[in-house]
Structure 1
Amino acid sequence: MTFRKKTIKTLFQMKQNGQPISMLTAYDYTFASILDAAEIDIILVGDSLSNVFQGNETTLPVTLEEMIYHGKAVMKGVKQAFVVIDLPFGSYQVNDSEALKNAIQLLKNTNAQAVKLEGGQEMTTTITKMVQAGIPVMGHLGLTPQSIHQLGSYELQATSQASKDRLKADATALEQAGCFAIVLEKIPADLATEIATSMSIPVIGIGAGNGCDGQVLVINDLLGLDESFKPKFVRNYLNLNTSILEAVKLYIKDVKKKDFPNSNESY
């Protein structure tokens, strides 16, 4: 099968044509290959790897070097998907020059097509500098996990009129700064729909209702790998936690019984 590589132009056309955009995370070659073969539109090498891959409580500990490592692995498995990679906490907040340097390093070392960063109006000069240097930037508003200690919890965001107005102003500012797309996380569905409708760029939702231009989930959540994590906005398409647990138990049983490997599995 011959794949045509998706680009920013592809995503804009999908927005204009009313075609929903599918987006999932991947952190390694194997999963990236599977998602790509399924013809996912966007693969995000997310800093969520800090949680689901490294076992950290927040996304804050993951480093630029680690994002590069995982980005390289993902890119080896991709033929057609558009690949975005997260700028980790601390890599773009110090100053614009440092942010630009790290974004360049991220793309040069991974061959990903774009970076994603969190924040609103306070990030516009940083975004503009990156865009002027030829770096596509995806924004991220609403629940911003890198600011979890400031937010205080993972609860629904933009619930007051003032916070709704601020979020809409942030979205407009990101578009004007040059973002090619925005992720809206855990905000009221009607607000997300209003923002998506008003934007000329794609708006991808996670826990933001069905009125966005596309949806994103963490692949581990979609596959049901962590039974302890069941937020309202996640749909488990599989329950791999149970399936893997049962498979491993069967393997252990067969090894203990000296039933594996059998004669057909031996040389």
Structure 2
Amino acid sequence: MTGSTETLLDVVDLDVVYPGKGRRQPPHRVLRQVSLELGTGRTLGLVGESGSGKTTLGRAVLGLAPVSGGDIVFQGRSIARLDRRQRRVLSRELQVVFQDPFTSLNPSMQIGAILAEPLRAQGWTTEAARARVRELLDLVALPSDAIQRRPREFSGGQRQRVAIARALALAPALIVCDEPVSALDLSTQARVLDLFLSIQRETNVSYLFVSHDLDVVRHVSHDVAVMYGGEIVERGSGRQVTERPQHPYTQRLLLSSPVLDPDAQAERRRARQELSPDARQERDEKEIPA
């Protein structure tokens, strides 16, 4: 994977705070002064367990979560507080691929119409949109007759390819990938991840790749940031973070990834338990002299 190191996305001291439910509930701070950078043509893997804040960060970049403090700079321009019209214009350069392709695709529309929709919204002619749709199907390795078919006629992996093609329709600079392979089986995951890599080589698009799985982000990411409790606790190159993690939380994430060997899996489970906060606290208490 190659690409320019020019900064495309710069997140600076970002805070996201949701109001409390009801009068007596205090506000809930989801992100705490999060900062990160993503270069042109590169992939930043954003990894953490449920509730870590990784999805909220992706949603904030997309304008779907309220920014309470800090800034998000995209292509040299602040996008943290754009209105709806400005966001619509920005969609030419910033797109998203969601976790479940079936719910993100209109089941009543043919694939050709789904892929042409963002093009027509930007003023493309019917002929130009039709030609672009054919290019997109070829780019994601779907047959040309997919144009007349509907989402229910495809497998989960094929539907995700359609979702990727739609995100690519306007040739964006950045795609936020929100758990894009977690709903797929392992063999399909591998093929879709390889597709992301192939597309990046061809188009130089950048990915903010959100996942709970270190093995997945290892496969696609130049750099990795690990989130826990709304903060980034470790960051570095993809190889360093996924092979030699320094933070105990990242080490636990790595050990939670399944392996095929039952004995190795059992050893990982024991090691992960040793790294748990409760286990460390109990061990420390035993070492304190009476």
Q: Which TM class, normalised by the smaller chain length?
A: 0.3 to 0.5
The alignment's TM-score, normalised by the length of structure 1, stands at 0.38
Normalized per residue, the structure richer in strand is 2
Which structure exhibits the higher relative contact order, with contacts defined as CA atoms closer than 8 Å and separated by 6 or more residues?
Answer: 2
Q: Which has the larger radius of gyration?
A: 2
TM-score (norm 2): 0.36
